[in-house]
Structure 1
Amino acid sequence: MTWNAADIPDQTGRLAVVTGANSGLGLVTATELARHGADVVLAVRNTTAGDAAARTIAEAVPGAKLRVRRLDLASLASVATFADAVAEELGQIDLLVNNAGLVLLGPRRTTSDGFELHLGTNMLGHFALTGRLLPLLARGDAPRVVSLSSITHKTAHLAFDDLMSERDYRAAPAYGASKLATTVFGIELDRRLRAIGSPVLSTLAHPGLSSTNLTPRAWEHRGRIGGWTARLGLLATQPVEQGALPQLHAATAPGVRGGQFFGPGRFRETRGRVAEVRASAEATDLVVGRRLWDAAQGLTGVAYL
């Protein structure tokens, strides 16, 4: 489909929360939502970087309505604090874009709660956040949740007997598994929202291969060699502004249905115009969805739907 940021409908009066909004895909998403009238909460781990991002957005969009709030998805305590503060400050949320993520190619690391860092940040943190914000979303106007997947989910596998990769840790498969888990979550959330007749839509998107700061950060532990590897990898990517379009489409386009998944439509979903794409067989498996949901509830202590 031919769809770009100019096609975003008027967002005036809508309140959007964008995680990881200080750079990359999140910054583009927050900027475009603000450009089209939304009141945007920049949910960021580093508020200094968040303030700088807000200034960047304000320069591009004079009069932008922005709030910077601290959220560390690698800490369930931070997620709870953020959600409580937002609930006290705001009456409703119309859009939650679960954009933040990380990819690290160094040794195994864990969150403050002891979760493998990829899974804990990319999926479990967003699972807990969405659950805590769901009452505010349910009061929203045509509310949506967007979960950010990756093409790496298509070749990944969830090992339920070793979700935290304690026995067999390899960074790239751990990242892929975290994005598969994110995809399973978005699809299972859609099933459960439909089952109760909720007005909230759960949609999914992935950016293909896009030029963001995740690639350089992933290789930073390799020093100069890593820096050159990251630069070579960026040559194969599309601009971040193009990569953000699938999640902006999932978040704002009229007629989007719960469970729909958007990504680039060309070169095996690595780049190109926005298109509806398909999740892997494992991501759509009903048993996998239920097992991951139960596991996430047990690990995070956040039970909903």
Structure 2
Amino acid sequence: MGIALPASSAGSGSPLRQQAQGLTQQNSAIASRSRAAVLTLYAFDSRLTRTQAQLASLRSQAAAIDRQAAETRRELAVAKQIFSVSQRNLAARLRSVYEQGDSDPLAIVLGAKTLDDALTGLETERAAAETDRAIVARARMSRDRYIGLQQRLAARAQKLRRLEASVSATLGVLSSAKAGRISYLRQLASQKKLNQSQIASLDAQAQAIEAQARRVAVQQVASTQTVAPAPAPTPTAPPVTGAATMTVTATAYTLQGHTATGAPVGYGVVAVDPSVIPLGTRITIPGYGEGVAADTGGAIQGAVIDLWFPTAAEAANWGRRTITITLH
């Protein structure tokens, strides 16, 4: 090829396309992070559901204990009242005994008219004393039992309150984490949208630069037509003039620098055999677009053209094709 190095990237949209490619890769990474964030969000939702159910269960248990405690307080009040009444009755009996003096069993026997009356009197005296003692003992036991139950219920209620506070704190942390993950997903979506906008802008700029490069190449070729081309091998196809079509083999290259006519390389520059296609000829190329015969090369002989591309990937994608071009 007739390329003068070092290379120059004037007229090429390749840097912009590289920037666009970098943003596209960034969007792919954003998509991966978004998927990971969504999975984390699902995990938070599951944990939140379990924690909310646990909190509801604790509150239900606490309500049940509160009801049981209220019932225990009522029963304790009754037990205290019975105990108080029993104590008053016992005190009254003791006062009566004190005032009347001790009941002498012999006196009861001597005062009875019959033996049955004597036995009945003794039994009644003993039964009354035993009943008083039993009533007081049962009342004390009931009071102590309800006091113990009340203390146990209070301890359980306190434990449940601590658990409820801990679960509520966990619920708050999970809710905050979920909100943060949702915010992160929104940020990723916003960044992806911004990148897509920048990609579209860069592509548009690259296309504009390449179109301008083609126009500049055509103008420079037209101004350098006095430069005689290097001798070429015997052509395998006749020269053409005017508007015509020609079937050629089209290859691709991506070197930087200047063409054989001195113009900077750029999209639309076509290397030709000048003895077949005169330099400066405008060419319509299927699958490529408009171009201009602005370069030559030692391997370009006969019905062969070589198309310039900004990147090696694009050149490799074009490969080698047989096409029909239009010369203007």
- Per the TM superposition, whether the score is higher than 0.5 is no
Tell which has more relative contact order, 1 or 2 (C-alpha 8 A, sep 6+).
Answer: 2
Quickly name the TM-score band, shorter chain normalised: under 0.3
Which structure is higher in helix share? Answer: 2
TM-score by length of 1: 0.18
- In terms of Rg, which structure is larger? 2
